[in-house]
Structure 1
Amino acid sequence: MSTEIYSSVRLTLFRHSANSFLAALDEAQISHGPIHMFSSNPQGSGVVEAITALSDAMPWNAIAKVVVAWIEARKSREILIHTESGDSIHAKGYSASEIQKLLQKSTNVIVIDTKPVDEP
């Protein structure tokens, strides 16, 4: 039995954000995978992905840099970080080091782009 501790970042990506944000993670070589959710009740239309690694190997800094670059690439983009304490923080305007600290306390990260990629 392993005593290693795992860390995970849960990402909920909506409509226009999924392809571009996941491509940014791929470009940064950050491994991620889908979380399949089953429910008898109607659910939102978001895609849920997770980044999971041994705690010591979690690429917190790289994920934070992807978040900052992705937000800054278009005005229509926003990322909300929900923390263990129940806070909801808009990541726009935060530095990569600040976002890194928030991600380590996150329970869910919501990734939103209100416009399709082909719209400016």
Structure 2
Amino acid sequence: MSKDIYTSVHLTLFKHSSESFLAALDEAKIPHEPIRMFSTTPQGSGLVESIIALSEAMPWNAIAKVVIAWIDARKSREVIIHTEAGDSIQAKGYSASEIQKLLQISTNVIVIDTKPVNES
């Protein structure tokens, strides 16, 4: 039995965020996988992705930098980090080191862009 400890970041991408945010992760060479959700009841519409790695190999700093750069690129973008304590924190205005710490205690990260990529 392996004693390796895995950790993950769950991303829920809404509106027009999926294409641009996933491209930013790809550009930063951060591997991610879709999570297929099945339910017999209606669910919120959003694409769910997961970043999974061995705890010591999780690229926390790289993910934090992607979050900040992605938000700063357009005013229509927002990232909300939900923590284990039940807090919801809007990532706009936080530093990379602060985002990195929040990601480590996150239960879900909501990624939203309210405008299509081709609209300014």
> TM-score, normalized by length of structure 1?
0.99
Shift of 1:91: 0.1
Q: Does 1:70 align with 2:65?
A: no
Q: Which runs of 4+ in 1 moved over 3 A?
A: none
Offset from partner CA, 1:4-32 (integer Å, 9 cap, x none) = 11110000001200000000000000000
Q: 1:118: which partner in 2?
A: 118
- AA aligned to 1:119 is E
Aligned residue pair count: 120
2 CA distance for matches of 1:45 and 1:105?
24
Offset from partner CA, 1:47-70 (integer Å, 9 cap, x none) = 000000000000000000000000
- AA aligned to 2:29 is Q
- AA aligned to 1:86 is G
Q: 1:48: which partner in 2?
A: 48
Q: Does 1:24 align with 2:24?
A: yes
The alignment yields a C-alpha RMSD, in angstroms, of 0.4
SS in 2 for 1:107: strand
2 CA distance for matches of 1:76 and 1:26?
21
Shift of 1:45: 1.3
SS in 2 for 1:117: coil
Q: 1:12: which partner in 2?
A: 12
Structure 1, 99-108 or 39-48: larger mean CA deviation? 39-48
SS in 2 for 1:97: helix
SS in 2 for 1:14: strand
2 CA distance for matches of 1:21 and 1:57?
21
Shift of 1:44: 1.4
1 CA distance for matches of 2:44 and 2:118?
24
2 CA distance for matches of 1:102 and 1:54?
18
- AA aligned to 1:19 is E
SS in 1 for 2:30: coil
User: What are the ranges of 5 or more consecutive residues in structure 1 without an aligned counterpart?
Assistant: none
Shift of 1:43: 1.1
User: What are the ranges of 5 or more consecutive residues in structure 2 without an aligned counterpart?
Assistant: none
